[in-house]
Structure 1
Amino acid sequence: MQLYNTLSAIERAALIEEAGKERLTISFYTYAHIGNTTIFRNHLFIHWNEMDVLGRIYVAHEGINAQLSVPAENFNVFKAHLDSISFLENVRLNIAIEQDNLSFLKLKVKVRNKIVADGLNDHTFDVTNKGIHVDAEKFNELIEDPDTVLVDMRNHYESEIGHFKNAITPDVDTFRDSLDIIEKDLADHKKDKKLVMYCTGGIRCEKASAYYKHKGFEQVYQLEGGIIEYTRQVEQKKLENKFRGKNFVFDHRRGERISEDVIANCHQCGEPCDDHVNCANEACHLLFIQCKSCAEKMNNCCSDACKEVHELPYEEQKALRKGKVVSNKIFKKGRSEVLKFKK
C-alpha cells in the first residue's frame, strides 16, 4: 500500500505539463477533535493520491490544515470525499484567485502537534470559543469604525507586499510571536475597542480570536475566509477593495495580485517590487524580494557570495554543502544582513 510519494517534483511537473489539464489550487482548514491522527493521515493520503491531489496537509489532534492542487476534472470526487468525513462536510474551500498548474508538485500529509504552531500551552484555552466571523461587506464597515483596531495576523514578509489600509502589521517572523505582542500592545482596549483580525485564509485568525477572547477581549471579530475569500466577495458583489498590493501564498506562486499597488521594494536595489524569490544557491535558499534587473545581475542570488557558489559546477556545490546543516537564513525570510533594502 502506497503511503508516500514515489515521484520527484521534477518528474511530477513533467507529467502535469504533458497532461495539459487544468488544476485548481485550494486551501481549507477546520478545528476538530481527531483521535488517531496517523490512521486519518494514511486515509487521506491513500484516497487523495488516487485522485492525483497534490499539496501540503497538516493533521493534528486539534484539526486539519490543507493547501492543495486538485485536477479540475476530479474536483467533484474530491469534494464528495470531504463530505463523507463528518467534520469536513461542507467545509469552506478557498479556491485561489490566480491558478497555476504547478502550485504543488508532491502530496505531503504530515502529522503535527498542532495545525498552526502557536507556542501556547494553556490547557484552559478553548480554541472553539472563537470570535465573530464577518463577510467582506461587514468587514469594510468595521474597519472604517473609529472604535476598531485592525490587526494583520500574518508575518512581516507577508504584510510587506500587501495589507489592508490602516492595519497594524506586527514585525514578527512567526504567528506565535504575534500573539503576546498584540495582547500587550492592546491591553488597555480589551473592553472599549473592536478587535478585528485577518490573515490569508482564516486559520490563524480562528485560533487568535479564541485566544484573545480567552484573554479578556470582549469584542473580537475575524474576516471569514481571510484575504482569499474577501477578494472573491469584493469581485462578486462589486464592493470597494480595501486591500493594497499582493496576498502572499504558500505555494510556488508566492503571491496573488489583489490590487495594482506595489507597496514593497526590491531588497537589493530599493526599486518598487513585490516579487518574492528564493536564493538560487541551494545552501542558502533565503526568501526575499528581488526585481528582474537584480535577478539578472545577481544570477537569482541574494548576495555576491551566494552568486559565486551558484556559478560553480554542480558537483562542487554539492561538495561544499556536504556535512553542513542548511543555513538558518531559510527561516529568516527577508532578514539577512546582505539585503541592503530589507524591511
Structure 2
Amino acid sequence: MELYNRVNREVLKQKLQLSDEKRVTISFYQYWNLNNPQLFRDHLYLKFSEVGVYGRIYVAKEGINAQISVPENNLEQFKQYLAEITFLNGIRLNVAVDDDGKSFYKLKIKVKEKILADGLNDESFDVTNKGKHLSAEEFNQLTDQDDTVLVDMRNHYETEVGHFENAICPDVDTFRDSLPIVEEILEGQKDKNLVMYCTGGIRCEKASAYFKHKGFENVYQLEGGIIKYAQDISKKGLKNKFKGKNFVFDERLGERISEEIISKCHQCGKPCDDHTNCKNEACNLLFLQCEECAEKYENCCSKECQEVIHLSEEKQKELRKQQDSGIRIFSKGRFKKSSSGLEKIK
C-alpha cells in the first residue's frame, strides 16, 4: 500500500460532495516526545486509511496535531486505534459543532519540525508549566470579573467572524506573530487574571507556558477551546459568550456558534461571515464574500481574477507559475475596495 494519496484533488473533492456517507469531523492534539516521527507517521497512515480517515495531521518530535473526519460507522474502531497508542489513550476528541461531514477529502500526514509553528525556543522555558484549564462554567465566571483580561490567540481573519465578548483580538496573520504583540498589549497587567482561548486549545497550551515564563502570575486557558465550549454550553444550558462563527481550517471554513453576524462582505460591505478562496487559483485570496458578490464576481475577489478564470487552462497554469505560492489573506491594511472588487494596496 502506498503511504501517500496519488489521486487528483478535484476528483476527490467531487467524490466527497457526491457521497452520502455520514462522517464526523474531529480535532485532537497531544504534546509527547516521539523518537521516530517518520515511523509513527507511517503507522498512522496505514491504520487510519483502513477506517477511511480523511484530514490533515502533523507529526513531530514534540507530538501530534490532527484535524480529521471519520466515517460514522468506523468511529469506534478509530477510537480503538487511538487507545492502542499509549500517549493517545483517552485523548480528548473535539467534535465539530456545525458539521456536514464534508470537511476533508483526503488523508494527509506530514512530519514537521513542530506540530505548531510558534517561533519559540522550547529550551528557553518550561513548556510543561502551562496555565490552568477552565471549564465552560469557570470560563464564564472568571471572564465576568473586573480583574480578568481575555485574549484571543487566533489570527485576525479568525477573530473577524467570531470572538468572545470583550476579548482582545490582536491584528496578526500567524500565531508566532501574536505572542510578542500580546505581551506588549498586556504590559503592566501581569497581576491580572490572564485568560486565553483558541480554536481547540493547542495554541494556548504553548502560549500559557510562555506567558507564565514572562512573569504573568495568574494564567488560564479555555479547555478544548471554542469547539468544546460550544459543545458544553449546549449540553449544560449555559450562557453563550461567543459571538459569531468559529473559523476552521478545513473545507467548511467556519462553524456557527451563535446567530450574530459580526463581520461584513469585503467587497460590498453587507453583513457576511462566509469565508471563501478566490476561484482564480493564481490568486487564491482568502476573504469574506456574500452570495450577491459571489454571483457578481463568479466567486472571484475582483474583475481581474474573474477574467482569468475564463482563460484556457494552459494560460491559467502559466499565471500560477508566476505567482507566489504562499497563502494570501485579506487584510484591511493591504487591500481596498474598488469598482472592480478587491485591489491590493501598492
Contact in 2 for aligned 1:98/1:256 (Cα 8 Å): yes
For 2:32 and 2:224, locate their aligned partners in 1 and report how far apart those are by CA, in whole Å.
17
Paired residue secondary structure (2:272): coil
Q: Where does 1:29-178 land on structure 2 (aligned, <5 Å)? A: 29-178=29-178
Cα distance change, pair 10–327 in 1 and its aligned pair in 2 (3 A): closer
Contact in 1 for aligned 2:29/2:66 (Cα 8 Å): yes
For 1:80 and 1:298, locate their aligned partners in 2 and report how far apart those are by CA, in whole Å.
47
Query: Which residue of structure 2 lines up, in the alignment, with residue 271 of structure 1?
Result: 270
Query: Which residue of structure 2 lines up, in the alignment, with residue 296 of structure 1?
Result: 295
Quote the offset at 1:301 in angstroms.
0.8
Contact in 2 for aligned 1:152/1:198 (Cα 8 Å): yes
Contact in 1 for aligned 2:200/2:225 (Cα 8 Å): yes
TM, length-normalised to structure 1: 0.95
Contact in 1 for aligned 2:287/2:329 (Cα 8 Å): no
Paired residue secondary structure (2:123): coil
Contact in 2 for aligned 1:8/1:106 (Cα 8 Å): no
Q: Structure 2: which amino acid aligns with 1:165?
A: E
Q: Structure 2: which amino acid aligns with 1:332?
A: I
Contact in 1 for aligned 2:284/2:328 (Cα 8 Å): no
Quote the offset at 1:35 in angstroms.
0.8
Query: Which residue of structure 1 lines up, in the alignment, with residue 335 of structure 2?
Result: 337
Contact in 1 for aligned 2:37/2:60 (Cα 8 Å): yes
Contact in 2 for aligned 1:275/1:290 (Cα 8 Å): yes
Quote the offset at 1:312 in angstroms.
1.8
Q: Over aligned residue pairs, what C-alpha RMSD do you find?
A: 1.7
Paired residue secondary structure (1:150): strand
Paired residue secondary structure (2:227): helix
Query: Which residue of structure 2 lines up, in the alignment, with residue 241 of structure 1?
Result: 240
TM, length-normalised to structure 2: 0.94
Quote the offset at 1:124 in angstroms.
2.6
Cα distance change, pair 17–283 in 1 and its aligned pair in 2 (3 A): closer
Question: How many residue pairs end up in the alignment?
Answer: 339
Contact in 2 for aligned 1:54/1:69 (Cα 8 Å): yes
Q: Structure 1: which amino acid aligns with 2:188?
A: D
Give unpaired runs (5+ residues) of structure 1: none
Identity of aligned residues (%): 59
Task: Tell me if 1:223 matches 2:250.
Answer: no
Query: Which residue of structure 1 lines up, in the alignment, with residue 231 of structure 2?
Result: 232
Contact in 2 for aligned 1:55/1:104 (Cα 8 Å): yes
Quote the offset at 1:14 in angstroms.
4.5
Query: Which residue of structure 1 lines up, in the alignment, with residue 313 of structure 2?
Result: 314
Q: Structure 1: which amino acid aligns with 2:328?
A: F
Contact in 2 for aligned 1:303/1:338 (Cα 8 Å): no
Paired residue secondary structure (2:335): coil
Paired residue secondary structure (2:124): coil
Query: Which residue of structure 2 lines up, in the alignment, with residue 185 of structure 1?
Result: 185
For 1:257 and 1:178, locate their aligned partners in 2 and report how far apart those are by CA, in whole Å.
24
Q: Structure 1: which amino acid aligns with 2:322?
A: K
Query: Which residue of structure 2 lines up, in the alignment, with residue 282 of structure 1?
Result: 281
Task: Tell me if 1:199 matches 2:198.
Answer: yes
Q: Deviations over 1:212-239 (max 9, x none)?
A: 1111111000000000000001000000
Cα distance change, pair 262–19 in 1 and its aligned pair in 2 (3 A): closer
For 2:182 and 2:18, locate their aligned partners in 1 and report how far apart those are by CA, in whole Å.
48
Give unpaired runs (5+ residues) of structure 2: none
